[in-house]
Amino acid sequence: MDVQDLIDEVIAREGGYSDHPADRGGATNMGITQAVARDNGYFGAMQALPRATAEALYRRLYWEEPGYAFVAELSWPVAAELFDAAVNMGPPTATGFLQRALNALNRNQKDYPDIKVDRLLGGRTLAALRAFRALRGPSGDIVLLKAMEALQGERYITLAESRPANEAFLYGWLANRIGSGARS
């Protein structure tokens, strides 16, 4: 599996054009909101958004710019989870989930120092992930993913509680974003 596979999966999951009245993102196509498209130079009709444009936006905004390729060198499943969460919630939120989970799993800093939850992927976050994996091995990825997905699931429930219109999306978020198997 590589980043193109992740992009193909997210486009398949997101589907085509949508303009759901409860979706604050407004018009979307293949999961790309009109605001993201406009901010990145696409000014055509959202119904006509080219797949190549969507793929390029996913690759640049949700893989390259946040630095998830560096995570992939250490743990493909964690990088894939970051990508998927970033697509739905933004890279800062996804990266924050990783940082919080790593801090919670370091046994009160016995395994590695806490890292600042600045929601940016940098050297300290990568060093913590490297230390976690050196101690726990690849099977530790399963526990780390559970922690990250628990944080993501809690955020979805909070979004639905704070804005009842989001309840229209909660079932799909939980069904398709938590433990979706997209990280194998």
Reported as a single tens digit per residue, the pLDDT across 17-49 is: 988 776 777 889 999 999 999 999 999 999 999
Residues 102-116: what's their mean pLDDT?
A: 97
Identify the CA nearest to 23 among candidates 170, 133, 127, 177: 170
How far apart CA 69 and CA 75 sit, in angstroms, is: 10
For the entire predicted model, the pTM comes to: 0.90
Query: Which residues are registered as beta bridge partners of 29?
Result: 32
The average confidence (pLDDT) of the chain is 92
pLDDT for position 184 = 38
- What does the pLDDT read at residue 174? 86
pLDDT at 180: 55
Average pLDDT of 167-182? Answer: 76
pLDDT band at residue 7 under the 50/70/90 scheme: very high
Residue 159 confidence class, pLDDT cut points 50, 70, 90: confident
Res 182: pLDDT: 43
Residue 38 φ then ψ, to 5°: -65, -45
Model confidence over 52-82: pLDDT tens digits?
Answer: 999 999 999 999 999 999 999 999 999 999 9
Which residues contact residue 34 at a Cβ distance below 8 angstroms, ignoring those fewer than 6 apart? 25, 26, 27, 28, 46
